[in-house]
Amino acid sequence: MRFVLATSGTHGDLNPYLGVGCLLRKRGHEVVIATCLSYRSRVEAEGLHFHRLRPDLNELMTGSAEISGKGNDLKSGTQFILRTLVLPKLRETYDDLLEVCQGADLLVNHPVLFAGPLVAEKLGIRWTSAILSPGIFLSVHDPALLPPLAWFHSLRKLGPMPHRLLNAVIDRITLRWMQPVEALRKEVNLPSSLSNPARGGMFSPTGTLGWFCSALGAPQADWPARTKVTGFVFFDKTTPTDLDGALQAFLEAGAPPIVFTLGTSAITVAGEFYRASLEAVRQKAWRAVILTGADPRNRILQSDVPDSVFVAEYAPYSEVFARAAAVVHAGGIGTIAQTLCAGVPSVVVPFAADQPDNAYRLARLGASRTIARGDYSARKVVAELEVVLHDSAYRERAKAVARQICGEDGAAQACDALERHARGEVT
């Protein structure tokens, strides 16, 4: 069978698709990853077919400090990305997907790719929606913490009615944003849709897969029909895949360190994160690994780094987190998956998009503490790390979830479901 896996965004959006794609290929299927041009080498390094998908959100978000800042704004970042970067290029996305989906047995679609459902409808092919974070469902029974209205989240204690009203407002607002989708439907001779592309329209009638652990978000009565939670899908290989020798030696030379990382999105707007993190570990003489990424703005002068701290641009999370005492991160869903799989507690400083909701869900599990982005300081970092390092309940809870994750095999469950969808069977 021929699968087209379409995604866009950061490396955190790409990695699960690579994990699923590699396993589907091992099962004998033809797999094409349709994604940002800047990811071509990563896709082809895994022996998967690549197809360019415009716009290149990764290039846009990492190539401009102004765009990155607006895209990572806590309150308006999602609106900016959709209305300024994604929707104006909708016809280009549609054309790219229409080309690659010719003859496909199944399209697997990321929710930000609003052209995906139109292409599937135009070609008469099946498609599956893949959801990486549980908050995307906007359930009234398990409400998401939305950055522009964080205060509203406390009203969940009053039952579903407040969030039912809020979701109605969100429907009206986002439907106005989605006018380019309706215009494109007319342009390509498709009938009007009654579904909001940013809400019900992003979920496929064939089936929806939640590529996350049910401990973070269990299925709810108001989730779309035919939704299956598969568990996390992992992929964090590098080239070469071996852990850096110097880092390996550092990890083996002493006590488990604290790892500081901002994943693949917030790293472009780090601000004072690295300075404050370095000051915190210096105050307590803690061993630490600080992952700065390639952005030159995040570089730490070697003269400022004590022997107890190792600084690198990147290291495979699965390798480093498993040897960590705790991880301080921005709350991207991929990073959360890796911390939970490693069974280590976290301190989360959410920046934008789904990160505040992810942070809330991780804290609800009892596996993390949260620091607001504007409150991040050496003093605050020390205070919160003291809690997760010395209260064994945080590590015990993280380890309990790790045991659940190990028993799920999210990639295999995802591939099983996709094979069924490609054959026309419903989840």
Q: List the domains of the chain with CATH numbers.
A: 2-232+408-422 (3.40.50.2000), 245-406 (3.40.50.2000)
Q: How many CA atoms lie within 13 A of 228 on its CB side?
A: 20
Q: What's the rounded mean pLDDT across residues 388-398?
A: 97
Would you state the pLDDT for residue 63?
84
Q: Which residue has the tokens 């401990």?
A: 215
The tokens for 283 are: 């105050």
Indicate if the pLDDT at residue 426 is higher than 90. no
Q: Are 425 and 391 in contact (CB under 8 A)?
A: no
Indicate if the pLDDT at residue 385 is higher than 60. yes
Q: What is the pLDDT of residues 41-66, one digit of tens each?
A: 999 999 999 999 999 999 999 888 89
With pLDDT > 70 as the criterion, what percentage of the chain qualifies?
Answer: 98
Please report which confidence band the pLDDT of residue 427 belongs to, taking 50, 70 and 90 as the band edges: low
Would you state the pLDDT for residue 304?
83
pTM for the model: 0.94
Indicate if the pLDDT at residue 412 is higher than 50. yes
Q: What is the pLDDT of residues 190-227, one digit of tens each?
A: 999 989 999 999 999 999 999 999 999 999 999 999 99
Contacts of 252 (CB under 8 A, 6+ apart): none
Q: What's the rounded mean pLDDT across residues 101-106?
A: 98
Please state which of the ranges 12-16, 291-295, 382-386 shows the lowest mean pLDDT: 291-295
The tokens for 41 are: 């080498």
Q: CA nearest 135: which of 423, 356, 345?
A: 356
> What is the maximum span of the chain, computed from C-alpha positions, in angstroms?
65
| The dihedral formed by the CA atoms of 274, 278, 284 and 285, expressed in degrees to the nearest 10 | 140
Please report which confidence band the pLDDT of residue 237 belongs to, taking 50, 70 and 90 as the band edges: low
Indicate if the pLDDT at residue 238 is higher than 70. no
Please report which confidence band the pLDDT of residue 242 belongs to, taking 50, 70 and 90 as the band edges: low
The tokens for 153 are: 């989240």
From the CB of residue 290, how many other CB atoms can be counted at a distance below 10 Å? 22
Q: Are 393 and 213 in contact (CB under 8 A)?
A: no
From the CB of residue 40, how many other CB atoms can be counted at a distance below 10 Å? 14
Please report which confidence band the pLDDT of residue 303 belongs to, taking 50, 70 and 90 as the band edges: confident
